[in-house]
Structure 1
Amino acid sequence: MLKPNSSWKWYFNTDDDSLMLELGQDMVFKVSIASKHLVPDAFMDIPFSVDDASLFHLYNDGLSDLPLSGPRKAEIILNAVAANRFHKPLLPKSWFFKDVGGDLAPEAGTIIELKTDFGNAPFLVIENHGAASLCMLASEEDLALTDNKSMRFCEAIKVMNDRLSVYKNKRGKGKGRYALVG
């Protein structure tokens, strides 16, 4: 697994029209956020900060129970850090998701579940803004929102918190259970 260090650097690659993260040792990560959704700071060279590293570890901890490979976890973590720092503010698009009547107030790094008429999927909470949260799809399978619109892995969306439900880990059913002894 990647470990953040002081040599990492954000920069915008005009040839690819993409935000990149230079990881050193001839490794570069291409962020999945379209350039039209980036704030102006994303177009400058900026070092990977201590705050970025803190978010990296926070998101990594949150993803520990998801059935993703190490490289896929690294991908979502780096995209989530980039979204937290460089994504333009979004308006909630809650109409795609079922109102579960919940009152979750999830912290950043929490895995929640969102449900549509076509299915459900886990999402990583990037930021909670009080009544709504910026979330990133944490499933490798696309999630259909409508008959002709779907979300892809690492795509971000802002959703009202009454649409969020607690994520129930479908793998490792016996994990976390204890037997009473004596």
Structure 2
Amino acid sequence: MLKPNNSWMWYYDQKYDALMLDLGDDMLFRVAIPTKNLIPCAFTRSTFTVDDASVYQSFLEGMSILELSAPRKAELALNAVAASRFHKPLMPKSWFFNQQSGTHQPQLGDIVTLSTDLGEGQFLIIENSGTASLCMMADTASLALNAAKEMAFCETIKVMNDRMKAYEGAAEAPVTFALVG
């Protein structure tokens, strides 16, 4: 697993038209956020801060319940850190998702399930602004939002919290105990 350090650098690469993270040792990470969704400071070179490292760790801990490979978890976590730091504010697009009963107040790094009429997917909470949250798709399989639009791994969307339910994870195998004595 990647271990953040103070030599990592955020920068915008005009050749690739993308925000990048230089991880040192000739390793580069290309952020999945479209250029049009980046705030102005994303175009200025900056270090991967202690706060970035802390948020990265929070995201990794939250996604430990997901059945993703270690490289996919690192990819999701780095994209989530970039979104938490450099993503423009979005208006909610809750109409794609079914309303849920009860009130869910997700926290940074939580995994939630969002359902459409065509399926459901798991999302990582990037930011909760009270009534709505910025979410990042945490499933590697795409999710159809409607007949013409779908979301892919690491794409972001802002959704009202009343559309979310807590992620229940994969069904756990029953635990058997041996009686001794």
Is the 8 Å Cα contact of residues 136 and 155 (structure 1) preserved in structure 2? Answer: yes
Change (3 A) 1:178 1:97: farther
Quote the residue 2:110 is aligned against. Answer: 110
- Deviation at 1:178? 8.7
Is the 8 Å Cα contact of residues 102 and 163 (structure 1) preserved in structure 2? Answer: no
Quote the residue 1:38 is aligned against. Answer: 38
Quote the residue 1:14 is aligned against. Answer: 14
Quote the residue 2:168 is aligned against. Answer: 168
Quote the residue 1:54 is aligned against. Answer: 54
Percent identity between the two aligned chains: 53
- Deviation at 1:117? 0.3
Aligned residue pairs, count: 180
Q: Which runs of 4+ in 1 moved over 6 A?
A: none
- Deviation at 1:166? 1.1
Quote the residue 2:154 is aligned against. Answer: 154
Distance 2:45 2:68 in 1: 31
What TM-score does the superposition give when structure 1 sets the normalisation length? 0.95
Change (3 A) 1:61 1:103: same
Distance 1:178 1:114 in 2: 33
> What do the CA deviations read for 1:18-54 (whole angstroms, capped 9, x no partner)?
0000001000000001111100000000000111001
Distance 1:157 1:96 in 2: 10
What TM-score does the superposition give when structure 2 sets the normalisation length? 0.95
Distance 1:107 1:79 in 2: 17
Is the 8 Å Cα contact of residues 102 and 161 (structure 1) preserved in structure 2? Answer: no
> What do the CA deviations read for 1:90-121 (whole angstroms, capped 9, x no partner)?
00000000001331111100000000000001
Structure 1 spans left out of the alignment, 5+ residues:
none
Matched to 1:112, the amino acid is: V
